[in-house]
Amino acid sequence: MAADGAGIGAKRAWETMRAGAWIGWQVEANWADPFLFLVFAIAKPLSTTLILYLMAKVVSGGAVTPAAFHQLFIGNTFFLYVTEVLIGISWAVFRDREDYETMKYIYVAPIRFLHYLLGRGLTKVATASIGIAFALSFGALVLGVPLRHDPATLAKLLGVTVAGLIGVMWLGVSLAGISLVVARHSITLNEGLSGVFYLLCGAVFPIDVLPSFAQRIALVLPFTYWLELLRRVLTGESYSEILRRVDDMTLGAILVATTIATMIGGYLWFSWCERTARARGLIDWKSNY
């Protein structure tokens, strides 16, 4: 009986996530024809890739080793997941609450808002994946970045990417929790947080060049280990002298542990924010500037 209940609950959760993902896709993509949407999806990763390429290859000239560019290219490309998913999930709260004014209807429906949000996050994963796939192809084919692509590497890449993405999604849920209890103009803080992570997790430079206090923060961020593992999987090389001492298995274990901690922390934090928002009557809040 209890198992049936759990089964129905899981089915309802999955259907809610699927519906959330579909709505998210409509919101993200229905304003443009497929070609324009593709341009939109690849513009950002392509631009940042080229900025870094020009900084590394042309500006610094002979002082740069190609390996250094390969490493920052991979870090920058995969960091797009963090930017898109973190901001995307928390922004969905503001859009639904204040622009479309649909959040209150989701709350009166027999579904959990959390499952709907995870669905919205999946859409952002999908749209970011388009940009990342294009940037990786561009890097490999045009910029000559040697990326391993044998079946074993691809399997590892999938595993590491999914493990990291779960952490990113739940961190996005945590930010969405904050969005539930703040006005819409506070989105700049959520957006800025991805910039903080970009700086501190060594996405485009080895964490060795950070001041020592910042290195300590970098070493508690899951993204630091995630990007290091992705670099090792795709190039076989380590980027940071500090992390070079840690073997792949240990890095993987740290990534899994930090991901689980992010999931638990994210769930508890979001639940608390959700209760607070309902208690304060913020579910249909319209801050209007």
Partner 1 sequence: MSREPRTFAEVLRMNLGAVTARASVRIVAAFRERSWLIGETVFPFLSMSTFVLVYRGLHAPPAFEAFAVLGGAMIAYWNNVLWSMASQFFWEKEQGQLQLYLITPVSRMSILLGMALGGMLATTTRALVILAAGLWLFHVPFPLDRVPGALGLFLLTLGALYGLGMILSSVFLLWGREAWNTVTLFQEPVYLASGFYFPVRALGTLVASVAGLIPITLGLDGIRQIFYGDAARGFLPLAWIVPIQAALLVVYLFLAHRALLTMENLGKREGRLTIRGG
List interacting residues with partner 1 (CB under 8 A). 31-32, 39-40, 43-44, 47-48, 50-52, 54-56, 58-60, 63-64, 68, 72, 185-186, 188-189, 191-192, 195-196, 198-199, 203-206, 209-210, 288
In the bound state with partner 1, the residue whose beta carbon lies nearer, of 54 and 253, is 54
d(C-alpha 68, C-alpha 80), whole Å = 19
- Smallest gap, in angstroms, from Cβ of residue 94 to partner 1? 13
In the bound state with partner 1, the residue whose beta carbon lies nearer, of 151 and 288, is 288
**Which residue type sits at 7?**
G
Tokens representing residue 160 in the block: 């590491």
In the bound state with partner 1, the residue whose beta carbon lies nearer, of 103 and 157, is 103
Chain center to CA of 107: 26
Q: Whose structure tokens read 């080895």? A: 206
- Smallest gap, in angstroms, from Cβ of residue 71 to partner 1? 9
- Smallest gap, in angstroms, from Cβ of residue 263 to partner 1? 26
Distances in Å between the Cα of 146 and the Cα atoms of 141, 241, 248 are 9, 21, 20
In the bound state with partner 1, the residue whose beta carbon lies nearer, of 17 and 128, is 128
- Smallest gap, in angstroms, from Cβ of residue 145 to partner 1? 16
- Smallest gap, in angstroms, from Cβ of residue 143 to partner 1? 14
In the bound state with partner 1, the residue whose beta carbon lies nearer, of 16 and 76, is 76
In the bound state with partner 1, the residue whose beta carbon lies nearer, of 209 and 268, is 209
Distances in Å between the Cα of 70 and the Cα atoms of 130, 139, 164, 234, 247 are 20, 9, 20, 10, 20
Please classify residue 46 by burial: count the beta carbons closer than 10 Å to its beta carbon, then call 0-12 exposed, 13-18 middle and 19+ buried.
middle
DSSP annotation of 240:
-
Q: Whose structure tokens read 């700086």? A: 199
Output the 3-class SS for 41-55. Answer: HHHHHHHHHHHHHHH
In the bound state with partner 1, the residue whose beta carbon lies nearer, of 93 and 114, is 93
User: Quick check: 82 and 194 in contact, CB under 8 A?
Assistant: yes
- Smallest gap, in angstroms, from Cβ of residue 205 to partner 1? 3
Please classify residue 153 by burial: count the beta carbons closer than 10 Å to its beta carbon, then call 0-12 exposed, 13-18 middle and 19+ buried.
middle
Distances in Å between the Cα of 275 and the Cα atoms of 63, 104, 235 are 55, 14, 46
- Smallest gap, in angstroms, from Cβ of residue 200 to partner 1? 9
